[in-house]
Structure 1
């Protein structure tokens, strides 16, 4: 793969942590504008070179950073504009609701131990009281007077832990016209309740929502499983994929008369993965529920499965322990051997993987994948037709942290491919630079990078949004 070098051109700075970067055209406008959503609940757009407020829902957002020492994975996580937004003004939000803080689903974190079956078969019980918070997915409308207003709630989701809620979690499919919600496995580590593989669980799935169907329910019940939803809401939902650990959204690339779908899956301790697929069988939620009641897997054949928790991308999920006699070495024990075996023939293979420890030349040690976008522009010729992705922080970049930018190329035959690091020319000075988000414009000819100087959402106004340029 060829070496690519890019520059970073600042667009806006001193903002809170950006979770969504995407463009749209406002009703009555003629210019495609960049919109920026922040974790704390602000939505801005660039108008005439100035940063303007589109919507501020900070009072609606759960208080962040309290239990994690400033770190948090909740907040305003998703923003999507209806394909007909210019005409109907509809847009959609996914966020963690103020006042819903709970105690969490477990009183202590327990790593899987293959020698102790209790650690492998934990259950989420007392869900109505033992949970961390509630996320909501809402439909809003930009009124004719220019003021946004909430129209209805599509989903209310009870989440077990504060992490793995997804980010950039709402995107419309150009293939089906449906709203796609990408959810993580619920959090903690190692998916202790195996929610991502359970067909009835909402966590750990990629879900299509038919927003054009009116359910006549403006405030649905708070749920964790599909079968807890009213039937009329179930009928608006289909599931694209399962086996998701944590995911920075989904992107689509037109390939002749088809669309390639790309999704990153955050790893546990070993590997980060980018998955791609063209064909998939969307499973209606009503069919999933029926198959579960009938204990029939034949009704849901063709389900895209990323393989978590049995598989962490290219490897079986493993527990890492230090070697007693060699402090620089460690041993890796398969955490869920039977699950890895059962998924070995049905899971989707990653398009590419990169690793938390990698001493190969021209590679890097990663931390967490934070964005995946297709690029079909020609301003950066070396990237045309590629899939660009970001990692939060290169392991070798301490003490001044630097994120990573890299790319791979999709193969229509579905085979795996290597990746190449993109060299970025920009002086971040004496500040850390975590690469927290990657966005694009409507026709995927521009790329935007969100950078934050801290891992703590409570360190306010530490963010910069760049355009990636030649």
Structure 2
């Protein structure tokens, strides 16, 4: 692939961890503004070269700092503007609710004695392979909410209604940049991870009744007249009026940094990144899909039948991690230099092998090739349609949280790109070289954003993994 070099132009610095970057046109305005949402609950916008506060919901957002204040995946993780935002002022938020911290989904098990993301099933112990989430109203980590807000003519945003309240089993895998509007259907798209821990212990991603591990469309044009929706984990727990606003596009999601739409003649290519477990990070693409209305999924579940899933997208998790069956890596006692890989969920891998969508590209957690990098976690996927960086036009740009190159600090994130191949085979990818000098400061790449017509790209970086190390964020524009 063509070697691409870019510059990073700082737009704003010394902010909290940037999770979403999008542009919108304010009511009564004519200029597209860049909006930046931070994980702690602030939303800023850039106007006339000055950063202004659009909304501050920090008191509404759960206090971050899992395990004494380090890495955390909760907080304000979704922001989307209605396609007619500059006329109707409607926008949407997804965040973890203050005061909802619980003990976790497996509080009395061995899992809780270590960090939840370290959970690994033991292929030799069947009792670890099919965990059940019981007493959900007590055993959970936190509650996420999806809300509709309106930007009033007096310049003050105000909450209008709550669309969903979701009980989450663990602190991680809530997604990021989790709200986007579909230019095809005009509906709000919610992308939600499998609920966390590791290896999806409850197999939520493949269970049609579980809200976790799915891509869901919400018809916000319908008013359900349900002012305070119940806190749920499954579709069949929702009131009927809310069920009727929901369709499911895809399942088999592990963790996900949103969805990106790229116009291609009279249709759209959809790009979805799935964060990996042990081996690879994966990017998928699809054009045609057949969403299933939630009432139809519930009816099939009641009848104990399989709904018609022709055209229904399945990314394969937990049976598959990208192009590989999900495996456990262990040391070989006979030869410590070798790794032994065991398929924990063999039946899951077989069952989903022919139903799953093949990835567009995958990149490894370990890759010694000079033009590649070892990744840790995919944090952004965006189509680029601009002319400013000609070698990237029509490509898919993606970011990784931190290169895993066995090097000492400071840590650096990774920026790369790929393209769809006409023959639908696995695409190659290439690192995008940047010229910015971060000095001795670490730079974790936390998010990737774009403007309305996808001609500009924005990169969010942070100087620490600790969410309680405040004001270490910088937002850059990626320029030639």
CA shift for structure 1 position 329: 3.5
Partners of 1:32 and 1:103 in 2: CA distance: 43
Partners of 1:409 and 1:400 in 2: CA distance: 30
Q: Are 1:306 and 2:315 matched, yes or no?
A: yes
Whether the aligned pair in 2 keeps the contact of 1:44 and 1:53 (CA below 8 Å) is: yes
Q: Which deviates more, 60-69 or 214-223?
A: 60-69
Partners of 2:414 and 2:335 in 1: CA distance: 30
Deviations 1:219-259 (A, max 9, x none): 10000000000111000000010000000000000000000
Deviations 1:372-391 (A, max 9, x none): 00001011011011000000
Partners of 1:228 and 1:90 in 2: CA distance: 27
Distance 1:124 1:142, change over 3 A: same
Residue in structure 2 matched with residue 405 of structure 1 by the alignment: 415
CA shift for structure 1 position 300: 2.9
Q: Which deviates more, 388-397 or 413-422?
A: 413-422
Whether the aligned pair in 2 keeps the contact of 1:7 and 1:426 (CA below 8 Å) is: yes
Residue in structure 1 matched with residue 245 of structure 2 by the alignment: 236
Residue in structure 2 matched with residue 35 of structure 1 by the alignment: 35
CA shift for structure 1 position 412: 5.0
Residue in structure 2 matched with residue 435 of structure 1 by the alignment: 445
CA shift for structure 1 position 294: 1.5
Residue in structure 1 matched with residue 20 of structure 2 by the alignment: 20
Whether the aligned pair in 2 keeps the contact of 1:377 and 1:445 (CA below 8 Å) is: yes
Secondary structure of 2:398's counterpart equals: strand
Secondary structure of 1:432's counterpart equals: coil
Secondary structure of 1:14's counterpart equals: strand
- TM-score normalised by length of structure 1: 0.98
Q: Are 1:148 and 2:162 matched, yes or no?
A: no
Partners of 1:173 and 1:103 in 2: CA distance: 36
Deviations 1:34-80 (A, max 9, x none): 00000000000001101100000000000110435321100000000
CA shift for structure 1 position 411: 3.0
Residue in structure 1 matched with residue 470 of structure 2 by the alignment: 460
Partners of 1:194 and 1:298 in 2: CA distance: 18
2:284 to 263, 271, 275: 275
Aligned ranges 1:199-278 → 2 under 5 Å: 199-278=208-287
Partners of 2:177 and 2:81 in 1: CA distance: 12
- TM-score normalised by length of structure 2: 0.96
Partners of 2:289 and 2:475 in 1: CA distance: 34
Partners of 1:106 and 1:129 in 2: CA distance: 10
Unaligned segments of structure 1, at least 5 residues: none
Aligned ranges 1:25-424 → 2 under 5 Å: 25-67=25-67, 69-107=69-107, 108-109=110-111, 110-324=119-333, 326-396=335-405, 397-411=407-421, 414-424=424-434
Deviations 1:4-56 (A, max 9, x none): 01110000000000000010000111110100000000000001101100000
Partners of 2:46 and 2:53 in 1: CA distance: 9
Whether the aligned pair in 1 keeps the contact of 2:209 and 2:297 (CA below 8 Å) is: yes
Q: Are 1:449 and 2:462 matched, yes or no?
A: no
Residue in structure 1 matched with residue 5 of structure 2 by the alignment: 5
Partners of 1:244 and 1:398 in 2: CA distance: 32
CA shift for structure 1 position 359: 1.3
CA shift for structure 1 position 266: 0.2
Unaligned segments of structure 2, at least 5 residues: 112-118
Whether the aligned pair in 2 keeps the contact of 1:96 and 1:135 (CA below 8 Å) is: yes
Deviations 1:102-157 (A, max 9, x none): 00001332411111111111100000000000000000000110000000000000
Whether the aligned pair in 1 keeps the contact of 2:297 and 2:307 (CA below 8 Å) is: no
Deviations 1:271-317 (A, max 9, x none): 00000000000110001111111222252332100000000111111
Partners of 1:328 and 1:357 in 2: CA distance: 15
Whether the aligned pair in 1 keeps the contact of 2:217 and 2:246 (CA below 8 Å) is: yes
Q: Which deviates more, 246-255 or 289-298?
A: 289-298
Whether the aligned pair in 1 keeps the contact of 2:104 and 2:141 (CA below 8 Å) is: yes
RMSD of equivalent CA atoms: 1.1
CA shift for structure 1 position 331: 1.7
Residue correspondences, number: 470
Partners of 1:288 and 1:179 in 2: CA distance: 19
